[in-house]
Chains A and B, each alone.
Chain A
Amino acid sequence: MKKRRQQGILTGMPFMANLAPRTFVDDLGRKIFLAKPPARVVSLAPSVTESLFAIGLDQEIVGVTEYCDYPPQARTRPKVGYARPNIEAIVALQPDLVLAPREFMRADVLGKLEQLKIPVYIIEARTIEDVPSNILTLGRMFERAPAANQVAARIRERIASVKQKTAALPRLRLLYVLNSQPLITVGPGSFIHHLIELAGGTNVAARAAVPYPRLNMEEVLKEDPQVIVFPVGSAEGISEADRQLWQRWSMLSAVRQGRLHTIPSDLLNRPGPRIVDGLDRLVRIVHPEAFEGGNSP
Chain B
Amino acid sequence: MGTGDWSGAPGAGTDVTAVGLASRGSVASGAVGRSSVLTPQRWGVTLLGLGLLALAIALVCLRFGAEPIGFSEMLRVLGLVVRDGEAGAESAGATGVILVQVRLPRILLALLVGGCLATVGVGLQALLRNPLADPYVLGISSGAALGAALAILLGIGTSVASLSALPLCAFLGGLGSILVVYRIASSYGHLPIHTLLLAGVILNAIFSALIMFVTSMMDPNRSFGMMSWLMGTLTAPDYPVLAVLTLYLILGAWVLFRQARSLNLLTLGEEAARALGVEVETVKRTVFFASALLTGAVVSVSGMIGFVGMVIPHAVRLVLGPDHRLLLPASALVGGAFLAAADTIARTLLAPAEMPVGVVTALAGGPVFIYLLAARKGRLSLS
Residues in B neighbouring A208, C-beta threshold 8 A: 352-353
Residues of B within 8 Å of A181, CB to CB, are: 159-161, 225, 229, 233, 235
Q: Is the CB of B228 within 8 A of A184?
A: yes
Which B214-242 residues have a C-beta within 8 angstroms of A? 216, 219-222, 224-225, 228-229, 233, 235-236, 238
Check B102 against A218 for contact (C-beta < 8 Å): yes
Q: Which residues of A contact B347 (CB under 8 A)?
A: 216
Q: Does B98 sit at the interface, judged by CB under 8 A?
A: yes
Q: Is B84 an interface residue (CB 8 A)?
A: no
Shortest B61–chain A CB gap in Å is: 13
> Given B219, B233, B352, which contacts A207 in the complex, CB threshold below 8 Å?
B352
Interface size class on chain B is 35 or more
Interface residues of A: mostly helix, strand, loop or mixed? loop
Instruction: Give, as a whole number of angstroms, the nearest-CB distance from B91 to chain A.
Output: 13
Docked pose: A187 CA to B355 CA in angstroms? 15
Q: Please indicate the chain B residues that have their CB under 8 angstroms from the CB of A239 in the complex.
A: 158-159
Kindly state whether residue A17 has any CB partner on chain B within 8 Å.
no
Task: Judge whether A241 is part of the interface by a CB distance below 8 angstroms.
Answer: yes
Contact A241 B354 (CB under 8 A): no
Question: Closest residue of chain B to A204, judged by CB?
Answer: B352
A122 to chain B minimum Cβ distance, whole angstroms, is: 19
Chain B neighbourhood of A221, CB < 8 A: 67, 94, 97-98, 101-102
Q: How far is the CA of A209 from the CA of B355 in the complex (A)?
A: 12
Cβ of B162 within 8 Å of any chain A Cβ, yes or no, is yes
Interface positions, chain B 309-368, Cβ under 8 Å from A, are 347, 350-356
Is the beta-carbon distance between A217 and B236 smaller than 8 angstroms? Answer: yes
Distance between B81 CB and nearest chain A CB, rounded to angstroms: 15
Nearest Cβ in chain B — how far from A203, in angstroms?
12
Interface presence of A4 (CB below 8 A): no
Q: Is the CB of A180 within 8 A of B161?
A: yes
In the bound complex, residues from chain B placing their C-beta under 8 Å from that of A240 are 158
CB-CB under 8 A from B129, the residues of chain A are none
Q: Does B168 belong to the interface (CB within 8 Å)?
A: no
**Contacts of B78 on A, CB cut-off 8 Å?**
none
State whether the Cβ of A219 lies closer than 8 Å to any Cβ in chain B: yes
Which chain A residues border B67 with CB–CB below 8 Å?
Answer: 218-219, 221-222
CA distance A38 to B221 in the complex (A): 33
Contacting residues, chain B, for A248 (C-beta < 8 A): 101, 238
With A and B bound together, what is the CA distance between A218 and B69 in angstroms? 11
Given A181-B160, A241-B161, A251-B97, does the pair A215, B225 have CB atoms closer than 8 Å?
A: no
Q: Whole-angstrom distance from the CB of B178 to the nearest CB of chain A?
A: 26
Does any Cβ of A come within 8 Å of B63's Cβ? no
Q: Is the CB of A153 closer than 8 A to any CB of chain B? A: no
A130 to B290, CA, bound (A): 57
Interface membership of chain A positions 200-216, coded 1 if the CB is closer than 8 angstroms to chain B and 0 otherwise: 00000101111011111
B40-75: CB near A (< 8 Å → 1, else 0) gives 000000000000000000000000011100000000
| Complex interface residues of chain B between 86 and 119 (CB less than 8 A to chain A) | 94, 97-98, 101-103
Most buried by B among A184, A214, A215, A240: A214
Inter-chain pairs besides A208-B352, A219-B66, 20 sampled, C-beta below 8 Å = A82-B220, A179-B222, A180-B161, A184-B224, A210-B353, A213-B354, A214-B353, A215-B352, A216-B347, A217-B235, A218-B65, A221-B101, A222-B67, A222-B94, A239-B158, A239-B159, A240-B158, A241-B161, A248-B101, A251-B94
| 12 A–B pairs (Cβ distance < 8 Å), ordered by A | A179-B225, A181-B161, A181-B225, A182-B233, A214-B354, A214-B355, A218-B65, A222-B67, A222-B94, A245-B161, A265-B221, A269-B221
